[in-house]
Structure 1
Amino acid sequence: MSGDLAGGPLVTVRGVHRSFGSGPTAVHALRDVSFDVTAGTMVALVGRSGSGKTTLLNIVGGLDHPDAGTVVVDGAEVTGLDDDGLSQLRRAKVAYVFQTFGLIPVMTAAENVGVPLRLARMPTAERERRVELLLELVGLADHGEQRPAELSGGQQQRVAIARALAASPRLVIADEPTGQLDAETGLSVMALLRGVVESEGVTVLVSTHDPVMMALADRVMRMHDGQVDP
């Protein structure tokens, strides 16, 4: 599980600042944040609500832009990309898993997983094989024809993880992925994320409040008041 075996950094963050508002009422969400994430590892970002975790994840993934500083993901300087470049980054290199699952209600589990592959115009037969493999990976091989409303919360999050992995991203960003799940289901979802680091060779950056889940990570980064502890 050691990052030493995985190679160099996939993510490099240097001197990132992000504030919301201005003047004395400004909220300084991130203050001079710098760190690396080694390729092929799982890193847990830990801190209280309001510590800056979500803002940091959004900036790493190109959903938000810092006021200062740089972010590089797999050789691409995220902070220097235009809208087209950011769209390409999210299609090819970065995928997201959210607390609220974000599945399309009218689609089956298999169809939800296949959405990124349709966008990538993968041939139908190849797409169907990839979807079948991913549903098997997340333990839902027999649930591909069910819609989100027919699945439990834990099953929906597993579908969301399979969808995130569909296009073989280099980095999966998971923002409180177990926040709406009970402790046992949440732990199984975190164990699944741990497993995909091993089986798919993906890098995972995950925020969490749960200290039990930190044991599954290769590294824990703690945030306080917009800063990452050294």
Structure 2
Amino acid sequence: MTETSSTGTAVVDGTAGPMVRVTGLHRSYGTGAAAVHALRGVSFTVPRGELIALKGRSGSGKTTLLNLVGGLDTPDDGQITVDGTDLATLGESGLLEMRRDRIGFIFQSFGLIPILTAAENVGVPLRLRRADPREREERVALLLALVGLGDHAAQRPGELSGGQQQRVAIARALANRPALLIADEPTGQLDAETGLAVMELLRAVVRSEGVTALVATHDAQLLGLADRVLELADGHLVEHGPTPGP
């Protein structure tokens, strides 16, 4: 159930404390008459362990919101709390640590390193964290099996289909056991059938890994797989509620 508090904040109920709390978020680009108001007072709260879909037309503010929640950008006004931490209290090193250890990112363009194998790509975050080699190998093998690519560990991105590359990207995003997954149009470069399979995988990953996912998508079929849907229009949150039935 979704409710609205006395302050106008959309609250998506959960039994645990919220994974993400956004209050009064504003972000503009440019100044004066030419300024673009990407977000205008957006507020919402989501619980842990759910897949939240973010929908809206191009230019509605979806990517801006994801970048702010992920600590890749700073709001002009408002507060963002992720996994109990107010992002405004973190310096650049603290934000870097947050992005490295507690947030996993999945992008439309996959972002894999062409010269590395699937296993090596998945292992990159663990190398950056200087994880024990044996721990790294075990985690990489587990994640590739989780996304159905256990037999493709030695293949490079160019030898994989688009759907397989996105599966590798999902495995890589999970490498450091993040609390939050942020995905910006993760199926945008895939055909409808492959995109649906990837979205179903994301939902399964949320369940099996116990993470929260915030996923931007414009595909109505994919929205049906989410636990909740948030809709942005011209920088405003215009809809926040349970996923519509079929």
Query: Is TM > 0.5 for Structure 1 vs Structure 2?
Result: yes
Could you tell me which of 141, 147, 165 is aligned with 2:150? 141
1-structure distance, mates of 2:215, 2:186: 8
Question: What is the CA deviation profile of residues 49-108 of structure 1, one whole-angstrom value per residue up to 9, with x for unaligned ones?
Answer: 000000000000000100000100001111332110100101111110000000001100
Q: Is the 8 A contact 1:6 1:40 kept in 2?
A: no
Structure 1 regions of 5+ residues with no counterpart?
none
C-alpha separation in 2, matches of 1:209 and 1:164: 22
TM-score of the two chains, using structure 1 as the length reference: 0.97
Structure 2 distance, partners of 1:201, 1:151, is: 28
Q: Which runs of 5+ in 2 are unaligned?
A: 3-11, 240-246
Matched, 1:36 2:8: no
* 2:196 corresponds to 1:168: no
* Residue among 126, 131, 134 paired with 1:122: 131
Aligned to 1:99: 108
Q: Which residue of 1 is the match for residue 194 of structure 2?
A: 185
CA contact (8 A) 2:14 2:46 kept: no
Which residue does 1:206 correspond to in 2? 215
How far apart in 1 are the matches of 2:14 and 2:20? Answer: 16
Q: What corresponds to 1:158 in structure 2?
A: 167
- Paired residues in the alignment total 229
Do 1:44 and 1:219's aligned partners in 2 also have CA atoms closer than 8 Å?
A: yes
Q: Which amino acid is 2:139 matched to? A: R
Separation (CA, whole Å) in 1 of partners of 2:56 and 2:199: 17
Partner of 2:64: 55
Decide which of 18, 25, 38 is 1:16's aligned counterpart: 25
Residue equivalent to 1:75? 84
Identity %: 64
Moved more, 121-130 or 2-11: 2-11
Cα-to-partner distance string for 1:198-223 (whole Å, 9 max, x where unaligned): 10001000000000011111000011
CA distance in 1: counterparts of 2:131 and 2:21, whole angstroms: 31
Query: Equivalent residue for 1:220?
Result: 229
CA distance in 2, matches of 1:175, 1:103: 15
Counterpart Cα distance in 2 of 1:6 and 1:62: 25
Read off the aligned partner of 1:20 and give its amino acid letter: Y
Deviant stretches of 4+, over 4 Å:
2-6
Contact persistence 1:191–1:216 (CA under 8 A): yes
TM-score (norm 2): 0.91
Q: Give me the whole-angstrom Cα distance separating, in 2, the residues matched to 1:127 and 1:4.
A: 36
What displacement does 1:6 show? 5.3
Distance in 2 of aligned mates of 1:4 and 1:228: 17
CA distance in structure 1 between the aligned counterparts of 2:184 and 2:163, rounded to whole angstroms = 15
- 1:229 Cα deviation (Å)? 1.6
Distance 1:81 1:5, change over 3 A: closer
- Partners of 1:4 and 1:34 in 2: CA distance: 14
